[in-house]
Amino acid sequence: MREINAILTIAFRDFTKLLRDRGRILVSFIFPVIFIGALGGSLQANLGSVLNYNFQTFVFIGVFAQTFFQSTASGIISLIQDRETDFSQEIFVSPISRYSIIFGKILGETLVSVVQVIGILIFGFILQVPLSFLDILILIPAGLVSSLLGGAFGTIVMANLNNQRAASQIFPLLLFPQFFLAGVFNPIQELPLPLWILSRLAPMTYAVDFVRHIYYFNKAEYQYVIINPFWVDVSVITAMFFGFLAIGTFIFVRNERNR
């Protein structure tokens, strides 16, 4: 029960921090306006006539999955910053498992990502993205899968960074290129070989493609927006999640013991 209480406390702390951070909440609402409205709308106006699907909806689903992934991954990376604060020092010297700290952060940042996605859904309704109540019911669990993969990715990256400065320099280089390699804003069915390899190495690729599988299933556009077979996405996400989480947590625990 002590470990469970620790996990829930850490998760609730991260969720409470979001509710108190009005700037972060505001940014979470501005982000979909920029990328779904401006970028998606512009590309739909210019390319929509030559595509077999609505590009704005395509971008909407991509941003939906990417937000889950990025929010949780960034939250795990914040452990590096927390390590340097007084509150985090109390966590790290407390008699709880380092594994509980990781699980608590993933759970907390998953809850945070759900709040941020609400802004995306609201903006989607404003833009009249075709979303039924059933679509939302199936998209949220699919997004949570993306969130868990993002948490595992953040864990293995965080475990190999020593300080906040390194995190602020390296993590964006590992995350931001995935926006384009994963096809969040752009089709990636056809790519030059070097980009194709990088795209298939990017964890976000499988998270975004998985969510699009869920949304576009039984829709006419399905064959035009999907990259991999569904079983491939599920298999790779499962392997990456357990692999990243196990290796990252092991390295993190080892580094903390050696501090």
| 81-128 pLDDT tens trace | 766 665 555 666 666 777 777 788 888 888 888 877 887 888 778 777
**Both ends of the chain: CA-CA distance in Å?**
27
Q: What is the DSSP string of 225-255?
A: H--S-HHHHHHHHHHHHHHHHHHHHHHHHHH
- Alpha-carbon distance of 218 to 210, in angstroms, equals 14
Residue 95 is classified by DSSP as S
Return the pLDDT at 44: 58
Cβ distance 121 to 131 under 8 Å? Answer: yes
Q: In this predicted model, which residue has the larger pLDDT, 133 or 54?
A: 133
- DSSP 8-state secondary structure symbol assigned to residue 51: S
**pTM of the full structure:** 0.86
176-200 mean pLDDT: 88
Q: What's the average model confidence in pLDDT over 34-56?
A: 64
